[in-house]
A and B are shown apart, each in its own frame.
Chain A
């Protein structure tokens, strides 16, 4: 796929996709653009709402029927479930790493293979996450292994 970036004085940024037909690659680009642009509505402890770009999310956690969203410097809450978050932002890197946790693959600093087929993920925040034996093969598949 040829990628061209043109710097032209336009009132609004524009993305034009040129292709003979919508093949798998183009569909992936489309879904990536849509998910990437779709901001996540979250609120903090003071119930102040924010529209968060999905790229800022490091990980999400489900606790007592509430979904918490963690960025590098703040904690928010969202109305979406982990499954909904994964479905909506999976294409931009959201990955279900446990029954009650979801991680943004772009928020992972490094991975370490562990005994028993588990994988330890070190996040950019310095926190560690254990990807269980159940989810580790899915992570490998996601990374193309």
Chain B
């Protein structure tokens, strides 16, 4: 039962990230399709995107475990960036998610992807550091109070 509950909790957390990545991909696909004058999406492409997002989110949960101590943060971050490139731009190239699309649109999509990835990690890092500073300030105040 405990094993099942762990698996269930992992599933819930993984699916949250999977949904986030999937909605980002669908949004990018909708924009690129609209630019190309298409307003309907291929179900097979959507399924492929969903499966890639699920695979990436699963690997991500192993790289950044929520319920265990984080080890090899730098190495895992580099792996995360590499896998993100393999999964999304790589998946798009291999499975033709964004074709036919003008080259400048592909460039915009790639730039958006890179910016999102950088912003995600940067924001995550900065927010955590600021939070830690605030926590330590309050802890010091608490310890000096009594």
Interface residues of A (CB under 8 A from B): 32, 92-93, 105-106, 108, 110-116, 118-120, 128, 130, 132-133, 140, 142-145
Closest chain A CB from B106 CB (angstroms): 32
12 contacts between A and B (CB under 8 A): A32-B146, A93-B143, A93-B146, A111-B132, A113-B129, A115-B70, A115-B124, A116-B66, A116-B67, A143-B141, A144-B141, A145-B138
Given A111-B135, A115-B64, A115-B128, is A144 in contact with B70 using a C-beta cutoff of 8 Å? no
Given A113-B128, A114-B70, A114-B128, is A106 in contact with B135 using a C-beta cutoff of 8 Å? no
Contacts A108-B139, A144-B138 known; 12 new A-B pairs at CB < 8 A: A105-B139, A111-B135, A113-B135, A118-B66, A119-B135, A120-B69, A128-B69, A130-B69, A132-B67, A133-B66, A143-B138, A145-B134
Given A111-B132, A115-B124, A130-B69, is A144 in contact with B146 using a C-beta cutoff of 8 Å? no
Cβ-defined partner of A143 (8 Å) among B66, B129, B135: B135
Q: What is the chain A residue whose CB lies nearest that of B138?
A: A143
Given A143-B135, A144-B138, is A115 in contact with B146 using a C-beta cutoff of 8 Å? no
Q: Which residues of B contact A119 (CB under 8 A)?
A: 135
How many inter-chain contacts with C-beta < 8 Å in the A-B complex? 55
Place the interface of chain B in its size category: 20 to 34
Task: Return the 9 tightest CB-CB contacts between A and B, nearest first.
Answer: A113-B131, A116-B66, A143-B138, A111-B135, A113-B132, A113-B128, A112-B132, A143-B142, A106-B143
Closest chain A CB from B70 CB (angstroms): 7
Q: Are A145 and B146 in contact (CB under 8 A)?
A: no
With the chains together, A42 CA to B139 CA distance in Å? 27
- B136 on the A face (CB < 8 A): yes
Q: Are A110 and B66 in contact (CB under 8 A)?
A: no
